[in-house]
Structure 1
Amino acid sequence: MLRRWSSGRLASLCKPQASSHCPDSSGLPADGLLRLLSFNIQVGISTQRYHHYLTRSWQHLLPHTGRASNLQRIGALLTDYDLVALQEVDGGSLRSGYVNQVEHLAELGGFPYWYQQLNRNLGRLAQHSNGVLTRLHPTQLEDHPLPGPPGRGAILMRFGEGSDALAVVVMHLALGARVRARQLAYIRELLSGYRHQVLMGDMNTHAVDLLQHSPLRDLGLLAPQVEATFPSWRPQRCLDHILISPGLSLERVEVLSQPISDHLPVAVDIRLPGHQAGGTLESSKTLVTGPHS
Protein backbone atom coordinates (compact mmCIF):
# COMPACT_ATOMS: atom_id res chain seq x y z
CA MET A 1 0.00 0.00 0.00
CA LEU A 2 1.25 3.49 -0.85
CA ARG A 3 1.76 6.02 1.90
CA ARG A 4 0.43 9.33 0.59
CA TRP A 5 1.01 12.61 2.39
CA SER A 6 -0.21 16.02 1.40
CA SER A 7 2.23 18.92 1.17
CA GLY A 8 0.88 20.02 4.54
CA ARG A 9 3.16 17.38 6.07
CA LEU A 10 6.12 19.56 5.11
CA ALA A 11 7.49 21.46 8.07
CA SER A 12 7.68 25.23 7.65
CA LEU A 13 10.80 26.79 9.19
CA CYS A 14 10.33 30.37 8.01
CA LYS A 15 8.63 32.44 5.37
CA PRO A 16 10.37 32.48 1.98
CA GLN A 17 12.17 35.74 1.35
CA ALA A 18 11.13 37.68 -1.73
CA SER A 19 13.60 37.68 -4.65
CA SER A 20 13.72 37.74 -8.44
CA HIS A 21 13.71 33.95 -8.23
CA CYS A 22 10.54 33.70 -6.15
CA PRO A 23 7.77 31.30 -7.20
CA ASP A 24 4.75 32.38 -9.21
CA SER A 25 1.14 31.39 -8.52
CA SER A 26 1.80 27.83 -9.75
CA GLY A 27 4.44 27.30 -7.06
CA LEU A 28 7.20 27.11 -9.68
CA PRO A 29 9.96 29.76 -10.03
CA ALA A 30 8.75 32.76 -12.02
CA ASP A 31 11.92 32.82 -14.15
CA GLY A 32 11.65 29.11 -14.93
CA LEU A 33 15.11 28.35 -13.52
CA LEU A 34 15.36 25.55 -10.98
CA ARG A 35 18.62 24.77 -9.18
CA LEU A 36 18.86 21.14 -8.02
CA LEU A 37 21.34 19.29 -5.81
CA SER A 38 21.54 15.63 -4.78
CA PHE A 39 23.87 14.52 -1.97
CA ASN A 40 24.41 11.29 -0.03
CA ILE A 41 25.82 12.76 3.19
CA GLN A 42 26.58 9.46 5.01
CA VAL A 43 24.99 10.85 8.22
CA GLY A 44 27.70 13.50 8.45
CA ILE A 45 30.64 11.06 8.48
CA SER A 46 33.78 12.15 6.65
CA THR A 47 35.39 9.24 4.76
CA GLN A 48 38.70 9.82 2.99
CA ARG A 49 40.11 6.32 2.55
CA TYR A 50 38.65 2.84 2.17
CA HIS A 51 40.05 1.78 5.56
CA HIS A 52 37.94 4.52 7.17
CA TYR A 53 34.88 2.32 6.57
CA LEU A 54 36.40 0.06 9.24
CA THR A 55 38.17 2.51 11.55
CA ARG A 56 35.26 5.00 11.58
CA SER A 57 32.43 2.46 11.51
CA TRP A 58 31.63 3.25 15.14
CA GLN A 59 30.42 6.68 14.00
CA HIS A 60 27.37 4.98 12.44
CA LEU A 61 26.31 4.08 16.01
CA LEU A 62 27.78 6.72 18.31
CA PRO A 63 28.12 10.52 18.22
CA HIS A 64 31.43 12.16 17.33
CA THR A 65 32.65 15.74 17.54
CA GLY A 66 33.38 16.16 13.82
CA ARG A 67 29.81 15.52 12.72
CA ALA A 68 28.57 19.00 13.67
CA SER A 69 31.28 20.76 11.65
CA ASN A 70 30.61 18.50 8.68
CA LEU A 71 26.93 19.45 8.80
CA GLN A 72 27.92 23.13 8.94
CA ARG A 73 29.95 22.64 5.75
CA ILE A 74 27.06 20.85 4.06
CA GLY A 75 24.60 23.54 5.14
CA ALA A 76 26.79 26.27 3.65
CA LEU A 77 26.96 24.29 0.40
CA LEU A 78 23.18 24.07 0.07
CA THR A 79 22.36 27.77 0.15
CA ASP A 80 22.58 28.25 -3.63
CA TYR A 81 19.91 25.65 -4.48
CA ASP A 82 16.12 25.56 -4.74
CA LEU A 83 15.57 21.84 -4.21
CA VAL A 84 17.92 19.45 -2.43
CA ALA A 85 17.67 15.66 -2.28
CA LEU A 86 19.47 14.08 0.69
CA GLN A 87 20.29 10.43 1.23
CA GLU A 88 21.69 8.69 4.33
CA VAL A 89 20.53 11.34 6.78
CA ASP A 90 19.67 10.66 10.42
CA GLY A 91 16.29 11.73 11.73
CA GLY A 92 17.45 12.22 15.33
CA SER A 93 19.10 9.42 17.31
CA LEU A 94 22.08 8.71 19.54
CA ARG A 95 24.62 8.80 16.71
CA SER A 96 23.49 12.28 15.58
CA GLY A 97 23.21 13.64 19.11
CA TYR A 98 19.42 13.45 18.70
CA VAL A 99 19.57 16.06 15.95
CA ASN A 100 17.18 15.65 13.04
CA GLN A 101 19.74 16.27 10.31
CA VAL A 102 17.11 17.08 7.66
CA GLU A 103 15.60 19.81 9.81
CA HIS A 104 19.03 21.05 10.88
CA LEU A 105 20.29 21.34 7.29
CA ALA A 106 17.07 23.11 6.28
CA GLU A 107 17.74 25.68 8.98
CA LEU A 108 21.41 26.06 8.02
CA GLY A 109 20.55 26.45 4.33
CA GLY A 110 17.60 28.78 4.89
CA PHE A 111 14.99 26.45 3.38
CA PRO A 112 11.38 27.21 4.33
CA TYR A 113 10.18 23.62 3.73
CA TRP A 114 11.67 20.22 4.53
CA TYR A 115 10.53 16.63 4.68
CA GLN A 116 12.10 13.57 6.33
CA GLN A 117 11.32 10.09 5.05
CA LEU A 118 12.15 7.52 7.74
CA ASN A 119 13.12 4.27 6.03
CA ARG A 120 14.89 2.28 8.73
CA ASN A 121 13.88 2.90 12.33
CA LEU A 122 16.41 1.53 14.79
CA GLY A 123 15.01 3.50 17.70
CA ARG A 124 17.56 5.45 19.70
CA LEU A 125 20.44 3.94 17.72
CA ALA A 126 19.59 5.25 14.23
CA GLN A 127 16.83 6.93 12.25
CA HIS A 128 17.98 6.14 8.71
CA SER A 129 16.23 8.52 6.31
CA ASN A 130 15.99 10.34 3.01
CA GLY A 131 15.32 14.05 3.06
CA VAL A 132 14.05 16.90 0.90
CA LEU A 133 14.77 20.61 1.35
CA THR A 134 12.84 23.00 -0.88
CA ARG A 135 12.25 26.72 -1.36
CA LEU A 136 9.15 25.95 -3.43
CA HIS A 137 5.95 24.65 -1.91
CA PRO A 138 4.87 21.41 -3.61
CA THR A 139 1.23 20.98 -4.50
CA GLN A 140 1.51 17.32 -3.52
CA LEU A 141 3.97 15.11 -1.66
CA GLU A 142 3.89 11.30 -1.40
CA ASP A 143 6.04 9.02 0.76
CA HIS A 144 6.67 5.60 -0.78
CA PRO A 145 8.52 2.59 0.69
CA LEU A 146 10.21 0.80 -2.21
CA PRO A 147 9.92 -2.92 -3.04
CA GLY A 148 12.52 -5.30 -1.64
CA PRO A 149 14.00 -5.62 1.83
CA PRO A 150 12.83 -2.83 4.17
CA GLY A 151 14.95 0.29 4.34
CA ARG A 152 14.67 1.96 0.92
CA GLY A 153 12.22 4.67 -0.03
CA ALA A 154 11.24 7.30 -2.59
CA ILE A 155 9.60 10.71 -2.20
CA LEU A 156 7.35 11.96 -5.01
CA MET A 157 6.64 15.69 -5.21
CA ARG A 158 4.47 17.59 -7.67
CA PHE A 159 4.98 21.28 -8.38
CA GLY A 160 2.25 23.10 -10.28
CA GLU A 161 -0.91 21.71 -11.79
CA GLY A 162 -2.16 20.17 -15.00
CA SER A 163 -0.07 19.17 -18.00
CA ASP A 164 2.73 21.58 -17.06
CA ALA A 165 3.17 20.12 -13.56
CA LEU A 166 6.67 19.01 -12.63
CA ALA A 167 7.11 15.61 -10.94
CA VAL A 168 10.25 15.16 -8.83
CA VAL A 169 11.24 11.81 -7.33
CA VAL A 170 13.95 11.57 -4.66
CA MET A 171 15.31 8.07 -4.04
CA HIS A 172 18.05 5.86 -2.65
CA LEU A 173 18.09 2.59 -4.56
CA ALA A 174 19.30 -0.88 -3.57
CA LEU A 175 22.76 -2.25 -4.27
CA GLY A 176 21.51 -5.46 -5.93
CA ALA A 177 20.53 -5.29 -9.62
CA ARG A 178 17.37 -7.43 -9.30
CA VAL A 179 15.94 -5.49 -6.36
CA ARG A 180 16.92 -2.22 -8.00
CA ALA A 181 14.99 -3.21 -11.15
CA ARG A 182 11.86 -3.82 -9.04
CA GLN A 183 12.29 -0.46 -7.38
CA LEU A 184 12.69 1.31 -10.72
CA ALA A 185 9.58 -0.40 -12.06
CA TYR A 186 7.69 0.96 -9.06
CA ILE A 187 9.08 4.46 -9.65
CA ARG A 188 8.19 4.18 -13.36
CA GLU A 189 4.60 3.57 -12.29
CA LEU A 190 4.65 6.61 -10.00
CA LEU A 191 5.66 8.80 -12.93
CA SER A 192 2.92 7.65 -15.28
CA GLY A 193 0.82 10.62 -16.35
CA TYR A 194 3.55 13.23 -15.81
CA ARG A 195 5.12 14.89 -18.84
CA HIS A 196 7.89 16.78 -17.00
CA GLN A 197 10.01 14.61 -14.70
CA VAL A 198 13.13 14.86 -12.54
CA LEU A 199 14.66 11.87 -10.75
CA MET A 200 17.29 12.58 -8.08
CA GLY A 201 19.37 10.48 -5.73
CA ASP A 202 21.91 7.79 -5.05
CA MET A 203 20.90 5.19 -7.63
CA ASN A 204 23.83 2.80 -7.08
CA THR A 205 24.39 2.24 -10.80
CA HIS A 206 25.52 4.05 -13.93
CA ALA A 207 23.39 6.20 -16.23
CA VAL A 208 23.53 3.79 -19.18
CA ASP A 209 22.10 1.03 -17.01
CA LEU A 210 19.30 3.32 -15.79
CA LEU A 211 18.32 4.73 -19.18
CA GLN A 212 18.84 1.79 -21.50
CA HIS A 213 18.58 -1.39 -19.41
CA SER A 214 16.00 -0.64 -16.72
CA PRO A 215 12.22 -0.07 -16.46
CA LEU A 216 12.93 3.64 -17.04
CA ARG A 217 14.10 3.03 -20.60
CA ASP A 218 10.79 4.00 -22.27
CA LEU A 219 10.65 7.43 -20.58
CA GLY A 220 13.27 8.98 -22.86
CA LEU A 221 15.07 10.54 -19.92
CA LEU A 222 18.33 12.45 -20.27
CA ALA A 223 21.34 12.18 -17.96
CA PRO A 224 24.16 14.73 -17.92
CA GLN A 225 27.38 12.83 -18.59
CA VAL A 226 28.94 14.02 -15.35
CA GLU A 227 32.11 13.01 -13.62
CA ALA A 228 32.26 10.12 -11.17
CA THR A 229 30.84 10.68 -7.69
CA PHE A 230 32.13 7.70 -5.67
CA PRO A 231 34.33 7.34 -3.70
CA SER A 232 34.70 11.03 -2.97
CA TRP A 233 38.46 10.92 -2.35
CA ARG A 234 39.18 9.18 -5.69
CA PRO A 235 36.00 9.16 -7.79
CA GLN A 236 35.69 6.19 -10.13
CA ARG A 237 31.96 5.44 -10.40
CA CYS A 238 29.01 7.70 -11.22
CA LEU A 239 26.32 6.45 -8.83
CA ASP A 240 24.55 9.73 -8.03
CA HIS A 241 22.28 11.20 -10.68
CA ILE A 242 19.78 13.88 -11.59
CA LEU A 243 17.81 12.60 -14.59
CA ILE A 244 15.49 14.91 -16.53
CA SER A 245 12.76 14.51 -19.14
CA PRO A 246 13.40 15.89 -22.66
CA GLY A 247 11.08 18.91 -22.27
CA LEU A 248 13.33 20.39 -19.57
CA SER A 249 16.34 22.42 -20.71
CA LEU A 250 19.71 21.76 -19.11
CA GLU A 251 21.66 24.92 -18.29
CA ARG A 252 24.40 23.63 -15.99
CA VAL A 253 25.68 20.37 -14.58
CA GLU A 254 28.50 19.87 -12.10
CA VAL A 255 29.90 17.33 -9.68
CA LEU A 256 31.04 19.48 -6.77
CA SER A 257 34.53 18.93 -5.44
CA GLN A 258 33.34 18.70 -1.83
CA PRO A 259 34.69 15.47 -0.26
CA ILE A 260 32.67 15.80 2.94
CA SER A 261 30.94 12.41 2.65
CA ASP A 262 31.99 9.27 0.77
CA HIS A 263 29.90 10.55 -2.18
CA LEU A 264 30.28 13.83 -4.03
CA PRO A 265 27.20 16.03 -4.56
CA VAL A 266 25.69 16.49 -8.03
CA ALA A 267 24.24 19.86 -9.10
CA VAL A 268 22.03 20.60 -12.11
CA ASP A 269 20.29 23.79 -13.25
CA ILE A 270 17.25 23.30 -15.47
CA ARG A 271 14.94 25.69 -17.29
CA LEU A 272 11.26 24.81 -17.26
CA PRO A 273 9.23 24.77 -20.53
CA GLY A 274 7.96 28.14 -21.73
CA HIS A 275 10.86 30.15 -20.28
CA GLN A 276 13.74 31.53 -22.31
CA ALA A 277 17.22 31.08 -20.90
CA GLY A 278 18.72 34.27 -19.59
CA GLY A 279 22.29 33.33 -20.46
CA THR A 280 24.50 30.87 -22.25
CA LEU A 281 24.74 27.19 -21.44
CA GLU A 282 27.37 26.77 -18.76
CA SER A 283 28.11 23.14 -19.53
CA SER A 284 28.86 21.66 -22.94
CA LYS A 285 29.00 18.09 -21.64
CA THR A 286 27.36 15.32 -23.65
CA LEU A 287 24.12 13.78 -22.45
CA VAL A 288 23.46 10.11 -21.94
CA THR A 289 20.02 9.40 -23.33
CA GLY A 290 17.51 6.61 -23.29
CA PRO A 291 16.53 4.89 -26.53
CA HIS A 292 13.30 6.84 -26.99
CA SER A 293 14.64 10.35 -26.38
Structure 2
Amino acid sequence: MGHADAHRLKLLSYNIQAGVDTRHYRQYVTQGWKHMLPHRERLQNLNRIATMIQQYDVIGLQEVDAGSLRSGFVDQTEYLAHRAGFAHWYKQVNRNLGKLAQHSNGMLSRIRPSHISEHKLPGLPGRGLILCRFGGVTGLSVCILHLALSRRARLRQLAYVSDLVSALTHVVIMGDLNCSCDSREMRLLRQRVDLQEPVCDQSTFPSWRPMRKLDHILVSESLRVENARVLDYPLSDHLPIGIDIVIPKGMDLAA
Protein backbone atom coordinates (compact mmCIF):
# COMPACT_ATOMS: atom_id res chain seq x y z
CA MET A 1 0.00 0.00 0.00
CA GLY A 2 2.96 2.32 -0.50
CA HIS A 3 3.23 4.86 2.30
CA ALA A 4 -0.39 4.19 3.39
CA ASP A 5 -1.16 2.78 6.85
CA ALA A 6 -1.92 -0.93 6.45
CA HIS A 7 -4.84 -0.60 8.91
CA ARG A 8 -6.30 2.66 7.65
CA LEU A 9 -7.36 4.05 4.30
CA LYS A 10 -7.67 7.79 3.69
CA LEU A 11 -10.39 8.67 1.17
CA LEU A 12 -11.24 11.97 -0.51
CA SER A 13 -14.07 13.07 -2.78
CA TYR A 14 -13.69 16.30 -4.76
CA ASN A 15 -15.60 18.06 -7.52
CA ILE A 16 -12.74 20.08 -9.04
CA GLN A 17 -14.80 21.99 -11.63
CA ALA A 18 -12.27 21.09 -14.36
CA GLY A 19 -9.59 23.05 -12.48
CA VAL A 20 -11.48 26.36 -12.45
CA ASP A 21 -11.01 28.31 -9.21
CA THR A 22 -14.37 30.07 -8.61
CA ARG A 23 -14.65 32.34 -5.56
CA HIS A 24 -17.82 34.37 -6.17
CA TYR A 25 -21.17 33.78 -7.88
CA ARG A 26 -20.44 36.61 -10.31
CA GLN A 27 -17.42 34.70 -11.62
CA TYR A 28 -19.75 32.15 -13.23
CA VAL A 29 -20.54 35.02 -15.62
CA THR A 30 -17.38 37.14 -15.67
CA GLN A 31 -15.07 34.09 -15.91
CA GLY A 32 -17.43 31.75 -17.73
CA TRP A 33 -14.99 31.62 -20.64
CA LYS A 34 -12.64 29.58 -18.43
CA HIS A 35 -15.03 26.64 -18.77
CA MET A 36 -14.52 26.67 -22.54
CA LEU A 37 -11.00 28.00 -23.21
CA PRO A 38 -7.54 27.18 -21.80
CA HIS A 39 -5.86 29.50 -19.32
CA ARG A 40 -2.62 29.14 -17.36
CA GLU A 41 -4.29 29.58 -13.96
CA ARG A 42 -6.05 26.24 -14.50
CA LEU A 43 -2.75 24.34 -14.41
CA GLN A 44 -1.58 26.34 -11.40
CA ASN A 45 -4.79 25.45 -9.60
CA LEU A 46 -4.37 21.77 -10.51
CA ASN A 47 -0.91 21.91 -8.97
CA ARG A 48 -2.41 23.26 -5.73
CA ILE A 49 -4.98 20.47 -5.78
CA ALA A 50 -2.22 17.90 -6.36
CA THR A 51 -0.35 19.16 -3.29
CA MET A 52 -3.47 18.93 -1.15
CA ILE A 53 -4.43 15.37 -2.21
CA GLN A 54 -1.00 13.84 -1.59
CA GLN A 55 -1.98 12.78 1.94
CA TYR A 56 -4.80 10.51 0.67
CA ASP A 57 -4.88 6.92 -0.60
CA VAL A 58 -8.01 6.73 -2.79
CA ILE A 59 -9.60 9.77 -4.41
CA GLY A 60 -12.84 10.21 -6.33
CA LEU A 61 -12.94 13.18 -8.70
CA GLN A 62 -15.92 14.75 -10.41
CA GLU A 63 -16.05 17.39 -13.14
CA VAL A 64 -12.65 16.41 -14.51
CA ASP A 65 -11.64 17.11 -18.11
CA ALA A 66 -10.08 14.16 -19.95
CA GLY A 67 -8.10 16.28 -22.43
CA SER A 68 -9.76 18.92 -24.57
CA LEU A 69 -9.28 22.51 -25.69
CA ARG A 70 -10.42 24.01 -22.38
CA SER A 71 -7.85 21.99 -20.40
CA GLY A 72 -5.07 22.62 -22.89
CA PHE A 73 -5.52 18.97 -23.98
CA VAL A 74 -4.36 17.82 -20.54
CA ASP A 75 -5.97 14.66 -19.17
CA GLN A 76 -6.54 16.08 -15.70
CA THR A 77 -6.98 12.72 -13.94
CA GLU A 78 -3.66 11.48 -15.31
CA TYR A 79 -1.99 14.83 -14.62
CA LEU A 80 -3.05 14.81 -10.96
CA ALA A 81 -2.00 11.16 -10.60
CA HIS A 82 1.53 11.91 -11.83
CA ARG A 83 1.82 15.21 -9.98
CA ALA A 84 0.63 13.76 -6.64
CA GLY A 85 2.44 10.43 -7.01
CA PHE A 86 -0.48 8.02 -7.45
CA ALA A 87 0.44 4.74 -9.15
CA HIS A 88 -3.07 3.93 -10.37
CA TRP A 89 -5.74 6.07 -12.01
CA TYR A 90 -8.84 5.69 -14.12
CA LYS A 91 -11.07 8.10 -16.02
CA GLN A 92 -14.67 7.74 -17.17
CA VAL A 93 -15.70 10.11 -19.96
CA ASN A 94 -19.43 10.72 -19.57
CA ARG A 95 -20.00 13.60 -21.98
CA ASN A 96 -17.70 13.67 -24.99
CA LEU A 97 -17.84 16.99 -26.83
CA GLY A 98 -14.76 16.22 -28.90
CA LYS A 99 -12.08 18.90 -28.77
CA LEU A 100 -14.36 21.30 -26.85
CA ALA A 101 -14.77 19.32 -23.60
CA GLN A 102 -14.38 15.81 -22.16
CA HIS A 103 -16.57 15.74 -19.04
CA SER A 104 -15.36 12.94 -16.79
CA ASN A 105 -15.19 11.25 -13.40
CA GLY A 106 -11.77 10.19 -12.17
CA MET A 107 -10.19 7.79 -9.68
CA LEU A 108 -6.71 7.99 -8.16
CA SER A 109 -5.33 5.22 -5.97
CA ARG A 110 -2.11 4.19 -4.27
CA ILE A 111 -3.41 0.61 -4.12
CA ARG A 112 -3.89 -1.47 -7.25
CA PRO A 113 -7.62 -2.13 -7.77
CA SER A 114 -8.53 -5.77 -8.30
CA HIS A 115 -11.32 -4.74 -10.67
CA ILE A 116 -12.70 -1.54 -12.23
CA SER A 117 -15.99 -1.17 -14.09
CA GLU A 118 -17.84 1.86 -15.36
CA HIS A 119 -21.58 2.33 -15.56
CA LYS A 120 -23.81 4.81 -17.35
CA LEU A 121 -26.50 6.14 -15.02
CA PRO A 122 -30.17 6.37 -16.03
CA GLY A 123 -31.50 9.64 -17.39
CA LEU A 124 -30.10 11.99 -19.98
CA PRO A 125 -26.62 11.06 -21.28
CA GLY A 126 -23.68 12.48 -19.38
CA ARG A 127 -23.81 10.93 -15.90
CA GLY A 128 -21.80 7.90 -14.84
CA LEU A 129 -20.30 5.82 -12.05
CA ILE A 130 -16.89 4.21 -11.55
CA LEU A 131 -16.91 1.06 -9.40
CA CYS A 132 -13.48 0.09 -8.03
CA ARG A 133 -12.93 -3.06 -6.04
CA PHE A 134 -9.96 -3.60 -3.77
CA GLY A 135 -9.25 -7.11 -2.52
CA GLY A 136 -11.87 -8.92 -4.58
CA VAL A 137 -15.60 -9.37 -4.01
CA THR A 138 -15.29 -9.58 -0.21
CA GLY A 139 -12.93 -6.60 -0.07
CA LEU A 140 -13.72 -2.90 -0.37
CA SER A 141 -15.91 -1.52 -3.17
CA VAL A 142 -15.67 2.21 -3.92
CA CYS A 143 -18.27 3.95 -6.12
CA ILE A 144 -17.41 7.36 -7.58
CA LEU A 145 -20.31 9.23 -9.18
CA HIS A 146 -21.83 12.57 -10.15
CA LEU A 147 -25.63 12.69 -10.14
CA ALA A 148 -28.03 14.73 -12.26
CA LEU A 149 -29.50 18.13 -11.44
CA SER A 150 -33.07 16.82 -11.75
CA ARG A 151 -34.61 15.13 -8.69
CA ARG A 152 -36.55 12.72 -10.90
CA ALA A 153 -33.31 11.61 -12.58
CA ARG A 154 -31.49 11.35 -9.23
CA LEU A 155 -34.18 9.04 -7.85
CA ARG A 156 -33.72 6.73 -10.85
CA GLN A 157 -29.94 6.95 -10.59
CA LEU A 158 -29.79 6.11 -6.88
CA ALA A 159 -32.22 3.23 -7.40
CA TYR A 160 -29.76 1.91 -10.01
CA VAL A 161 -26.81 2.43 -7.62
CA SER A 162 -28.57 0.63 -4.77
CA ASP A 163 -29.21 -2.38 -7.04
CA LEU A 164 -25.57 -2.33 -8.12
CA VAL A 165 -24.09 -2.43 -4.60
CA SER A 166 -26.77 -4.28 -2.62
CA ALA A 167 -24.89 -7.60 -2.73
CA LEU A 168 -21.51 -6.08 -1.79
CA THR A 169 -20.23 -6.31 1.79
CA HIS A 170 -18.04 -3.24 2.33
CA VAL A 171 -19.09 -0.25 0.23
CA VAL A 172 -18.13 3.41 -0.09
CA ILE A 173 -20.28 5.71 -2.26
CA MET A 174 -18.78 9.13 -2.85
CA GLY A 175 -19.24 12.08 -5.13
CA ASP A 176 -21.30 15.11 -6.02
CA LEU A 177 -24.84 13.84 -5.51
CA ASN A 178 -26.52 17.22 -6.07
CA CYS A 179 -28.87 16.72 -3.10
CA SER A 180 -28.85 17.06 0.68
CA CYS A 181 -28.56 14.38 3.38
CA ASP A 182 -32.26 14.58 4.23
CA SER A 183 -33.49 14.61 0.62
CA ARG A 184 -35.96 12.05 -0.68
CA GLU A 185 -33.26 10.57 -2.90
CA MET A 186 -30.81 9.99 -0.03
CA ARG A 187 -33.54 8.48 2.16
CA LEU A 188 -34.34 6.08 -0.68
CA LEU A 189 -30.68 5.02 -0.94
CA ARG A 190 -30.32 4.45 2.80
CA GLN A 191 -33.55 2.46 2.89
CA ARG A 192 -32.20 0.11 0.24
CA VAL A 193 -28.54 -0.13 1.34
CA ASP A 194 -27.17 -0.24 4.90
CA LEU A 195 -25.11 2.96 4.84
CA GLN A 196 -23.91 5.60 7.26
CA GLU A 197 -22.91 9.17 6.43
CA PRO A 198 -20.52 10.64 9.00
CA VAL A 199 -20.41 14.23 7.69
CA CYS A 200 -23.93 15.59 7.30
CA ASP A 201 -23.60 18.75 9.37
CA GLN A 202 -21.03 20.46 7.12
CA SER A 203 -21.90 22.12 3.81
CA THR A 204 -19.72 21.90 0.70
CA PHE A 205 -21.21 24.39 -1.79
CA PRO A 206 -20.41 27.10 -2.73
CA SER A 207 -16.84 26.82 -1.51
CA TRP A 208 -16.50 30.52 -0.62
CA ARG A 209 -19.65 30.51 1.54
CA PRO A 210 -20.84 26.92 2.06
CA MET A 211 -24.62 26.73 2.46
CA ARG A 212 -25.58 23.44 0.78
CA LYS A 213 -24.51 19.84 1.32
CA LEU A 214 -24.14 18.49 -2.23
CA ASP A 215 -21.03 16.31 -1.82
CA HIS A 216 -21.18 13.08 0.15
CA ILE A 217 -19.28 10.03 1.31
CA LEU A 218 -21.54 7.18 2.45
CA VAL A 219 -20.04 4.08 4.00
CA SER A 220 -21.31 0.61 4.90
CA GLU A 221 -22.18 0.14 8.56
CA SER A 222 -19.59 -2.67 8.53
CA LEU A 223 -16.78 -0.09 8.26
CA ARG A 224 -15.47 2.12 11.05
CA VAL A 225 -14.92 5.74 10.06
CA GLU A 226 -12.65 8.32 11.68
CA ASN A 227 -11.63 11.92 10.93
CA ALA A 228 -14.64 12.61 8.70
CA ARG A 229 -14.61 16.26 7.66
CA VAL A 230 -15.19 18.83 4.96
CA LEU A 231 -11.84 20.40 4.10
CA ASP A 232 -11.32 24.13 3.82
CA TYR A 233 -9.62 24.02 0.42
CA PRO A 234 -11.63 26.39 -1.83
CA LEU A 235 -9.83 25.47 -5.06
CA SER A 236 -13.12 24.82 -6.90
CA ASP A 237 -16.73 25.90 -6.37
CA HIS A 238 -17.10 22.79 -4.17
CA LEU A 239 -15.19 21.85 -1.01
CA PRO A 240 -13.67 18.35 -0.75
CA ILE A 241 -14.68 15.73 1.83
CA GLY A 242 -12.16 13.44 3.53
CA ILE A 243 -12.60 10.39 5.75
CA ASP A 244 -10.41 7.66 7.20
CA ILE A 245 -11.61 4.05 7.08
CA VAL A 246 -10.29 1.53 9.58
CA ILE A 247 -9.68 -1.66 7.60
CA PRO A 248 -11.54 -4.66 9.11
CA LYS A 249 -9.36 -7.45 10.44
CA GLY A 250 -8.60 -10.01 7.77
CA MET A 251 -9.36 -7.73 4.80
CA ASP A 252 -6.47 -7.71 2.35
CA LEU A 253 -6.91 -4.79 -0.02
CA ALA A 254 -4.00 -5.93 -2.18
CA ALA A 255 -5.44 -9.41 -2.77
TM-score by length of 2: 0.94
Matched, 1:199 2:168: no
1:168-247 alignment, distance < 5 Å: 168-209=142-183, 213-224=187-198, 225-247=200-222
1:101-116 alignment, distance < 5 Å: 101-116=76-91
* Secondary structure of residue in 2 paired with 1:43: helix
Does the CA contact (< 8 Å) of 1:159 and 1:165 recur in 2?
A: yes
Does the CA contact (< 8 Å) of 2:154 and 2:185 recur in 1?
A: no
CA shift digits 1:125-164 (9 cap, x unpaired): 00110000001111111111111000000001111134x3
Provide the residue aligned with 1:61 in structure 2: 36
* Secondary structure of residue in 1 paired with 2:221: coil
Does the CA contact (< 8 Å) of 2:173 and 2:218 recur in 1?
A: yes
Provide the residue aligned with 1:270 in structure 2: 245
* Secondary structure of residue in 2 paired with 1:229: coil
Q: 1:109 to 1:241 in 2, by over 3 A?
A: same
Does the CA contact (< 8 Å) of 1:184 and 1:216 recur in 2?
A: no
Q: Distance in 1 between matches of 2:146 and 2:184?
A: 13
Matched to 1:204, the amino acid is N
Matched to 1:78, the amino acid is I
2:98 to 123, 137, 146: 123
Provide the residue aligned with 1:281 in structure 2: none
The structure number with the bigger radius of gyration is 1
CA drift of 1:19 comes to: 3.8
Does the CA contact (< 8 Å) of 2:225 and 2:243 recur in 1?
A: yes
CA shift digits 1:254-280 (9 cap, x unpaired): 1111111000000000112227xxxxx
1:141 to 112, 116, 120: 116
Does the CA contact (< 8 Å) of 2:179 and 2:185 recur in 1?
A: no
2:62 to 76, 87, 93: 87
* Secondary structure of residue in 2 paired with 1:213: helix
Q: Distance in 2 between matches of 1:147 and 1:263?
A: 24
Provide the residue aligned with 2:50 in structure 1: 75
Matched to 1:246, the amino acid is E
Unaligned runs of 5+ in 2: 251-255
Matched to 2:180, the amino acid is H
Q: Distance in 1 between matches of 2:50 and 2:201?
A: 23
Q: Distance in 2 between matches of 1:20 and 1:95?
A: 34
Q: Distance in 1 between matches of 2:228 and 2:175?
A: 15
Provide the residue aligned with 1:35 in structure 2: 10
Alignment coverage as a number of residue pairs: 249
CA shift digits 1:171-201 (9 cap, x unpaired): 0001111100100111111102111110010
Does the CA contact (< 8 Å) of 2:166 and 2:193 recur in 1?
A: no
Matched, 1:152 2:150: no
Matched to 2:22, the amino acid is T
TM-score by length of 1: 0.82
CA drift of 1:215 comes to: 3.7
Q: Distance in 2 between matches of 1:37 and 1:19?
A: 16
CA shift digits 1:91-150 (9 cap, x unpaired): 001100000000000011100000010000000100110000001111111111111000
Percent identity of the aligned residues?
Answer: 49
What is the alpha-carbon root mean square deviation over aligned residues?
1.5
CA drift of 1:227 comes to: 1.1
Provide the residue aligned with 1:6 in structure 2: none
Unaligned runs of 5+ in 1: 1-15, 22-30, 276-293
Q: Distance in 2 between matches of 1:212 and 1:88?
A: 21
* Deviant stretches of 4+, over 4 Å: none
Does the CA contact (< 8 Å) of 2:226 and 2:244 recur in 1?
A: yes
Does the CA contact (< 8 Å) of 2:130 and 2:144 recur in 1?
A: yes
